[in-house]
């Protein structure tokens, strides 16, 4: 089962994603994609670590190359977040010709290998603002990734003010 959770900043996506795995009795893996650059990033990482305390998650920090993760069908995975993963692939110094294809194929591989995959992403690009070329490219690539994942996901849920709104499939909890 693959579930994509989207929404704006600080809308409850992470809490909802973790809640979805409360009753899972197998191995729970949290794949963290945020590179710790700057005070804000360290604070966000620490906040998320505190949220997971006592919930049985093992954390894998993987900033790029999501396709390299190999897990088995007994695992449930919470991947957070596609926005960070996309930025890392696009701006971390390496040259990736098709970052959307690379990320989507890696996520499909992960989805096919684990029992449950919950993916957290961000909604960007709907504000109607014109951005500089690099930012506009990022918004375009992230939008493409989100559309592709939504296409193969069993469930797509948008969090709005902490309320999960079903866009596709079923509300799992």
Domain ranges in the chain?
2-125+139-158
What is the model's pLDDT at position 34? 85
pLDDT at 105: 97
- What is the distance between the alpha carbons of residues 114 and 33, in angstroms, rounded to a whole number? 18
Q: Does domain 2-125+139-158 have CATH number 3.40.50.1820?
A: no
Q: What is the pLDDT of residues 2-48, one digit of tens each?
A: 999 999 888 889 989 999 999 999 999 999 998 877 788 778 778 77
**Is the whole model's pTM more than 0.75, yes or no?**
yes
Tokens of 39: 């005070």
- Show Cβ contacts of residue 6 under 8 Å, excluding neighbours closer than 6 positions: 13, 120, 121, 122, 123, 146, 156, 157, 158, 159
Low-confidence ranges of the chain (pLDDT < 70): 94-96, 173
Mean pLDDT score of the chain:
90
């Amino acid at each position: 089962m693959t579930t994509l959770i989207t929404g704006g900043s600080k809308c409850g996506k992470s809490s909802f994603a973790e809640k979805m795995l409360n009753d899972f009795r197998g191995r729970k893996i949290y794949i963290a994609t945020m590179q710790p650059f700057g005070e804000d990033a360290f604070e966000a990482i620490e906040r998320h670590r505190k949220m997971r305390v006592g919930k049985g998650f093992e954390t894998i920090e993987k900033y790029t190359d999501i396709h390299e993760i190999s897990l088995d069908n007994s695992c449930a995975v919470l991947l957070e977040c596609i926005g960070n993963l996309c930025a890392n692939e696009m701006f971390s110094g390496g040259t990736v010709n098709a970052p959307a294809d690379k990320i989507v194929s890696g996520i499909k591989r992960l989805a096919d290998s684990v029992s449950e995959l919950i993916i957290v992403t961000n909604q960007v690009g709907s504000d109607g603002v014109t951005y500089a070329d690099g930012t506009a490219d990022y918004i375009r690539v992230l939008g493409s990734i989100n559309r592709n994942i939504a296409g193969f996901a069993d469930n797509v849920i948008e969090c709005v003010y902490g309320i999960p709104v079903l866009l596709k499939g079923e509300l799992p909890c």
